[in-house]
Chain A
Amino acid sequence: MRAPEELTREAIEAVWRVEAARLIGGLVRLVRDVDRAEDLAQEALLSALERWPETGIPANPGAWLMTTARNKGVDEGRRRAMMRGKHEEVERSAERSTELELPDEAVEDDVLRLMLVACHPVLSRDARVALTLRLVAGLSTAEIARAFLSTEATVAQRIVRAKRTLAAAQVPFEVPAGDELRARLPPVLEVVYLVFNEGYAATAGDDLLRPELCEEAMRLGRILVGLAPDIAEVHGLLALMELQASRSRARVGPDGEPVLLFDQDRGKWDRLLITRGLEGLARAEACGGPLGPYTLQAAIAACHARASAPEETDWLRIAALYDALLEVTGSAVVALNRAVAVSRAYGPEEALQLVDELVDALRGYHLLPAVRADLLLSLRRYEEARRAFEEAARLATNLRERALLLGRAASCVRPSALS
């Protein structure tokens, strides 16, 4: 027992955050219904908030919460059965209370189970993200709404509907192993990376809340690494996020202006995250097998992280990694990235050919003419570069970006004409 006088609401909520995922995951296994599991867990939290200030936090708060939630579940089951007047059921639910004892070794699986269920493909992407942050990360509906610039009502509604969908689809709660687990992980990884990108790209609204999402995503990634350490892409994803996040503090100048990768003060890069990212990448590669998309992207990010100055960047390797990534994803956006790497490794002429091949696939995408314009500019084809920048500006939706592109268009002047 701990001294009650120290107990604040924050301390109890901290216990909740530590225990929530395991608690809800265990209850899901028990009652096989996400909504009911979460209700029971919440009721247990309410009991804790009521009782712990008097009694102190129990020595094993996780077990206390689980027992409390389970007893509430049993009571509720009995009450329901009574109302229906089914005596048999009352007895059965009473019996169940003893078999509801949870062996410790199942606990880890419980969190993984929760992730698999929350990220199940029957749910929309938005629903998966909301449910994962709520159930696994332990965020409140209000916190999720703030982070995604949405209203609490919208998020709450999304979560309610998601739970209904899960119940209706009778999503299985078993945690598979080996290849089957591997097959079920991509939607989980996708959700984690979506959360990360939402924070990293920070395209709208109050930017101040966004880095939270990067950090939540990395935390989820670390949990996954602990739960599925044999799966390469789990390490690859975490390494990718850590390597990208390592540059965060160098990406913004003193007045809040963005700082480009090659202008960044590399001394500001977070060495702890870089070290962790490079180690994670090595672990991903050590898992064997062909490299997946997250590991390949992490390997590309690692090329930048390893270069202590921009001119030390290994563009040949980056171009080769993009080749592999293009093969895995077949994405035209990746192909455009590859063209940028090729221009650095082999020169703008070769890259321009690659970009021109993508015109149909990426029609209407402002970055295609933007990249093209850059290449034309380095080939001193000023007039064509200007037109390409203008086209990019027309297609850009972000005002700040449009202004930047128009500015670049205006600067596409043959040097001799300046005098």
Chain B
Amino acid sequence: MKTRAEAPKKKGDRLMKVMVIVKATKNSEAGVMPDESLLTAMGNYNEELVKAGIMLAGDGLHPSAKGKRIQFVGGQTRVVDGPFAETKELVAGYWIWQVRSMEEAVEWARRCPPPMPGEESELEIRRIFEPEDFGDALTPELREQEERLRAEGERRKQA
């Protein structure tokens, strides 16, 4: 069996998933809802993401005042109610995208309308872990018949 490390792999070759995090601001934490022009701009932007085939999921989050934290300390759990203090480190929303490279994610993120008009705001892009053994030796097996027969059927049709 070959290992991944041996594979000659070009940078940016593989599609990857990223989480694009919209950082919270004073207004988002105060529960200020986006106005109509932002909603329209975001709607258009989301539509573009969908049409480009990169959008997998995305949502906005309520302010941390409605959130909870569960802390694990000394074998005990403790529940802490929001709001939480460090506003700029909090998350106000996220997308999950599938892109070919971090550069592509950056390019798309730059096209986002400013998510928090009137305030400084920030998007953070983080790569999502993928199972490293994803592609090894996927020889189909006898009892996996639904799948294997279908693939065989495609090959036979081609032949």
Contacts and interface: CB of A to CB of B under 8 A. Distances in A.
A261 B138 contact: no
A225 B47 CA distance: 11
B141 A202 contact: no
A156 to B, nearest CB: 18
A36 B140 CA distance: 42
Interface of A is mostly: helix
B106 interface: yes
B140 A258 contact: yes
A201 B138 contact: yes
A27 to B, nearest CB: 18
Given A14-B104, A18-B104, A260-B143, A221 B135 contact: no
Contact of A251 (B2, B98, B138, B156): B138
B43 interface: no
A219 B137 contact: no
B50 A401 contact: no
Contact of B137 (A11, A13, A252, A374): A252
A5 interface: no
A251 B12 CA distance: 25
14 contacts: A8-B103, A13-B103, A14-B101, A197-B155, A201-B155, A206-B7, A210-B135, A212-B14, A222-B54, A252-B138, A256-B137, A340-B145, A401-B139, A405-B142
B139 A200 contact: no
- Nearest first, the 9 A-B pairs at minimum CB distance are A222-B53, A226-B51, A14-B103, A215-B15, A333-B153, A249-B131, A223-B53, A202-B138, A256-B1
A374 B142 contact: yes
Contacts of A408: 142
A201 B103 contact: no
Contact of A223 (B15, B52, B106, B154): B52
A340 B135 CA distance: 27
A268 B134 CA distance: 11
A262 B142 CA distance: 11
A333 B53 contact: no
Interface in A221-271: 221-223, 225-227, 244, 248-249, 251-252, 254-258, 260-262, 268
